[in-house]
Amino acid sequence: MLASDPQGDPFAVVEQVIVRIPRPEHDPVFSRALGQFVRHVGARDVLELGTGHGGSACWLATGLRLNGGGTLTTIDRDTAPAVTPLLESAGVADLTRIVRTPRSYTSALMHLIQANTTGDRCNPQFDLCFVDGAHNWDTDGFAFFLVEKLLRPGGWLVFDDLDWSYATSLHLSPVDAEVARLMSPEEQSTRQVRDVFELLVRQHPGFDVVRQFRFHGWARKAGPQDSTDASRLIDELEAAGELVGFQNGAQTEPSLTAPAGPWSQSPSGGRRPISR
């Protein structure tokens, strides 16, 4: 059960527990927006690519709790940190399915597609997918192809870190440093999540609401209902300041500093909100 909250903030418990997470891997302001978004769209089944230390998982799963229940499926590598203690402290371990994979969530997604295929059709399973993992073209471009199959009509895809690049990351894990080593300098400097979002998601005929706010991308898979209400919702949330995020490090200008991305760590851990 969610612990009681004297301030009336349904995410107060999450605010308390996420202080344990090393910064700047976790963005509490944007993650709160994600948790609220889960509520706004009434999601019941959420997928996260890139669990990290479990911060965003706490917010997403709390959104599910506020909707009356559901399941967050969150995928990371076998080498990712243990997140169950954090999820338990946030009161959402029972809503969270932690999936670990030896190499990449693309293979875990294959298993999900296999498990949900009947005949020659994949039955979509998720209302929302948050992509905050590899941050490279090969992995996340392919992950988009796979997730599209698993996303219900009317479901949402949210991409973090459109401005991240290997070249500006402060620290890469050994496996990701090896991936970067094989890239040309140009590829290392490329904002690869942005390319996935602009060249694959935005151009995909099956997505009817596509928005970018700061360095986050939002896209809705077309559904039986036209996109008017979905467009209005996302525009209203943006106008209300509910889709903002933090920029990592000391600078506030996105072109001058890269988001944390998958593996960077700052000794200072400083974050501050971006002015809108």
The only residue of 56, 125, 169, 192 in contact with ligand SAM, by rule CB under 6 A: 56
Of 23, 32, 65, 77, the one binding ligand SAM by CB under 6 A: 77
Query: Following CA atoms 218, 2, 24, 35 in sequence, which dihedral angle do they give, to the nearest 10 degrees?
Result: 10
CB 11 within 8 A of CB 38: no
One residue of 55, 70, 124, 155 binding ligand SAM per CB under 6 A: 55
Distance CA 67, CA 44 (A): 7
Q: How far apart are CA 181 and CA 184, in angstroms?
A: 8
- Sheet containing 216-221: give its strands across: 96-101, 71-77, 45-49, 126-131, 151-159, 216-221, 207-213
CA distance 247 to 260: 8
104 is a contact residue toward ligand SAM (CB under 6 A): yes
Enumerate the H helices of the chain as residue ranges. Answer: 12-17, 28-40, 55-66, 84-89, 105-115, 137-150, 174-181, 185-189, 192-195, 228-239
The stretch near ligand SAM (CB under 6 A) out of 44-52, 84-92, 115-123, 198-206 is 44-52
* C-beta nearest to ligand SAM: residue: 52
Is residue 221 involved in binding ligand SAM (CB under 6 A)? no
Told to check if 76 binds ligand SAM by CB under 6 A, we report: yes
Please pick, from the candidates 132, 163, 218, 248, the single residue that binds ligand SAM as defined by CB under 6 A. 132
**DSSP bridge partners of 157:** 129, 219
Q: Contact letters (x/-) for ligand SAM, 134-173, by CB under 6 A?
A: x----x----------------------------------
When the beta carbons of 68 and 267 are compared against ligand SAM, the nearer one is: 267
Phi, psi (degrees; rounded to nearest 5) at 45: -130, 115
Candidate ranges 109-117, 132-140, 191-199, 230-238; the one touching ligand SAM (CB under 6 A): 132-140
Binding site for ligand SAM (CB under 6 A): 25-26, 31, 50-53, 55-56, 75-77, 80, 101, 104-105, 132-134, 139, 260, 262
